[in-house]
Structure 1
Amino acid sequence: MTDFSFDNLRRAPDVEAPNLFAFDATDRLLLDTAGAGITADRDGVVVIGDHYGALTLGAAALHGARSLRTHQDPLSGELALAANAQTAGLAAAFSHHPLDEALLTGAPTVLLQLPRSLAALDEIAWTIARYASPDVTVFAGGRVKHMTTAMNGILGRHFTTVSAGLARQKSRILTASVPVVTAASGFPVAEQHDVGLPAPLVLKAFGSTFGGAKLDAGTRYLLPALSAARAAGQAIDLGSGNGTIAAYLALTRPALKIVATDQSASAVASSRATADANGVGDRITVVRDDALSSMPDSSAELIVLNPPFHMEGTVHSGIALKLFADAGRVLQPGGELWTVWNSHLQYRTPLTSLVGPTRQAARNPKFTVTVSTRS
């Protein structure tokens, strides 16, 4: 008998705070709506987008699912699920997979927490339609305030039948079936951007990469300022996303070796694709990591960061502070952290506290670029 309760779920190693939760009403509604299908297909259930384990562990503990296959884009979600499973005695109930054929082959039932990004939903829906059982039923849930009719349209592109259930506790389920199989997914997408280099910078992105193949406005402001960054043999692009900063550094500093790190599996694949598209893949190592947890103390000369300031739709400084603290740990004495942030966030004080003396390198009405030097 397992000891499972939604109330026992934790977010760690992700940021934990009173207004951040490890499960929501959508998890419960998905499990209730798909309950009979989970029980009937208990050996073939796939879970995509589980935040911290509520769907995977709920399917196992409440509906008897076995050999669950789970895909979570953020590494912090994978680590939280593993920790929660250990606590609940369900560590053997599931296996982690990339978003690929092995995840979905023959799957009759898929539970999906709807992503906020339409591109992410498009890639996920294509993958399900391409590899799951022809009889698959997809239960896709989300918070009503984050759902749009465009999501129905995207599911309708990949499935013949799409229906919406009644809302409950501000959540709703879309049910899709009868896959429409197409040859190509369309990912990664690619865009070219003029950043003042001899040739356009090519950015590539898979569906769940934040911002897609766009050039983030804050990053655009940061790039030219990096010419004043200290000389270094190696640099880290922390939270690399689509790989813009890593590729730019490699193109502007031909002797530099770069580590591009992100906790998103999609971002890691995108950073690699961007590096290769710009001919600098031989000097960029891409790592999936929870902040810089795999990197030793006092080992880096230069770190560059454009930190996120949202967590699951909530404006929250926790993730930025976590990244600042880890950068401070990994920088060697005299090493620099270059950061761009929305000026109203006033990050200079925590940067000084967590990293070291911080000065302003550039500022406009929207963005501030700072340099923090490890003392």
Structure 2
Amino acid sequence: MSDAQTQLTINDHTLTLLRFPKRANETLQAWSAGDEYIIRHVEELKLSGSQNILILNDHFGALSCWFSQQHNVTMMSDSFIAHRATLKNLQRNQCNKIEFLNGMDTLPERIDLVLMQLPKNNRMLTWQLHRLRTQLPEHCPVVAVNKAREIHSSTLSLFEKYLGETTTSLAWKKHRLVFSRPNAMPVVDVNPVIHWDVEGENITLNNYPNVYSGESLDLGARFMLKHIPQDPELSHIIDLGCGNGVLTIKAGQLNPQAKLTCVDESFMAVGSARQNLENNLGKDRNIECIANNSLDGFKKESADLVLCNPPFHQQQTITDHIAWQMFCDAKHVLNYGGKLLVIGNRHLGYDVKLSRLFGKDQVQTVAKNNKFIILQATK
């Protein structure tokens, strides 16, 4: 891998930055032109002394590493992987320590400047803007960044409504900055939880702002619900990439004897899943909900069934390496004869990947419709 992809140099200062998890032959770099744009903008402000900087949604720690050199940095992100990547990059560059917060933690008391990568979903953005409005002093500047094509007039309307007066920069390397102040009146209240019932099922769900498909059941999960196995021999079921826990709840209803483990890299997903499992299955069930990078650290041959609805992007990048890691990890933790049940869009070709990993004879199609396919791989 060439140094060009790991060395971020601005104003004669260089950081070595890697994505997490670290992969051989990595083709993607660990920062964006948006990170560079924010860094250049703040450097031009020539901030006096050591400022208290809150950084929201740092992807792999480029902003946290850069600003930790001269300022007190708090990095707040809902992503376990972003936390881990940032920590590794801080260590790699011998940076000063920073404070880590997840998406539901309380904001620090003293904040002089907020820098943010805009989150992908508007519910998360609205929740973050609301929290900044209610907890920041009015003079505190907020600088956000995203690809210019992702910053719509509706995005700016959210800033105006929930945070305050808002302007934008010129585009640079296809990115744009958003400048805002926390002075919107009146202060609009935002409930972080959306609550709904799953049609045709005895399941009620609470969804925190950053939960995937948090406003309605996604079509893949709806299809998968009809094909979760019922088997008294199942003693441990893992839902890998659990989201709000809907698949685990169904598996738990069908298999009351089984231990249930929910895993997701979103802290909000894990929080929602924990609440939903307790609400739907009762507090005395054997359940565990973990924020993690796939199944890192899980015991070999410790599960009978892994349910998986893999994501096909990391931050803004479309990629299949997460699905591949999930499949490899699932095979590692499955008992002999254990099964991995995967749902994906038909065009993603998961059958080829699973055949490579488990053997062609061990992979079968459970069900398919015009959009999705459910595959079962047996170890």
Tell me if the contact between 2:343 and 2:372 (Cα under 8 Å) persists in the aligned partners.
Answer: yes
State the SS of the aligned residue for 1:226: coil
Counterpart position of 1:39: 47
- Note the C-alpha offset of 1:301: 1.0
| Structure-2 change in CA distance of 1:213 and 1:247 (3 Å) | farther
Are the aligned partners of 1:272 and 1:281 in contact in 2 as well (CA < 8 Å)?
no
Inter-partner Cα distance in structure 2 for 1:35 and 1:80: 24
8 Å Cα contact 2:232-2:255 kept in structure 1 = no
The one-letter code sitting in structure 1 at the alignment partner of 2:344 is: W
- Is contact 1:205–1:242 with CA below 8 Å preserved after alignment? yes
1:100 CA displacement: 4.7
Check 1:332–1:38 CA distance in 2 against 1; reply closer, same or farther (3 A cut): farther
Quick one: which of 22, 32, 36 aligns to 2:30? 22
Match status 1:332 vs 2:342: no
Q: Give the TM-score of the pair, scaled to structure 2.
A: 0.89
Q: Aligned pair 1:134/2:138, yes or no?
A: yes
Partner of 1:60: 68
CA distance in 1, matches of 2:91, 2:315: 25
Q: Which sections of structure 2, spanning at least 5 residues, go unmatched? A: 1-6
Residue 184 of structure 1 and its aligned partner are, at CA, apart by 4.5
1:213 — aligned with what? 215
Give CA-to-partner distance per residue, 1:98-148, whole Å, 9 cap, x none. Answer: 235643322121100001110110111112222233322110110112222
More deviation, 6-15/73-82: 6-15
Scaled by the length of structure 1, the TM-score of the pair is 0.90
Structure 1 residue runs of 5 or longer lacking an equivalent are: none
Q: Evaluate the alpha carbon distance shift between residue 101 and residue 303 of structure 1 in structure 2; reply closer, same or farther with a 3 A threshold.
A: closer
- Quote the Cα distance in structure 2 between the aligned partners of 1:211 and 1:94: 31
Assess, with a 3 A threshold, how the Cα gap between structure 1 residues 251 and 38 changes in structure 2: closer, same or farther: farther
Residue 276 of structure 1 deviates from its aligned partner by 3.4
SS in 2 for 1:227: coil
**Percent of residue pairs identical:** 24
Q: Distance in 1 between matches of 2:158 and 2:49?
A: 26
Shift of 1:353: 2.7
In structure 2, relative to structure 1, the CA distance for the partners of 1:50 and 1:14 (3 Å cut) is: farther
Matched residues in 1 for 2:121 and 2:219: separation? 18
* Alpha-carbon shift at residue 158 of structure 1 (Å): 1.9
SS in 1 for 2:54: strand
In 2, distance between residues paired with 1:128 and 1:152? 15
Instruction: Give the Cα–Cα distance (whole angstroms) in 1 for the partners of residues 130 and 174 of structure 2.
Output: 27
> Deviation digits for residues 68-97 of structure 1, max 9, x if unmatched?
11012221111111111111110x331111
Query: How many angstroms does 1:38 deviate by?
Result: 7.5
The 5 Å alignment of 1:28-107 reads: 28-35=36-43, 39-40=47-48, 42-61=50-69, 64-65=70-71, 67-90=72-95, 92-100=96-104, 102-107=106-111
Label 1:41 to 1:243 Cα distance change in 2 as closer, same or farther (>3 A).
Answer: farther
Q: In the superposition, relative to structure 1, how do residues 85 and 296 fare at CA in structure 2: closer, same or farther (>3 Å)? A: same
Q: Aligned pair count? A: 365
Tell me which residue corresponds to 2:166. Answer: 162
> Does residue 222 in structure 1 map to residue 224 in structure 2?
yes
Distance in 2 of aligned mates of 1:10 and 1:108:
28
Q: 2: CA distance between counterparts of 1:308 and 1:225? A: 20
Aligned-partner Cα distance in 1 for 2:187–2:290:
31
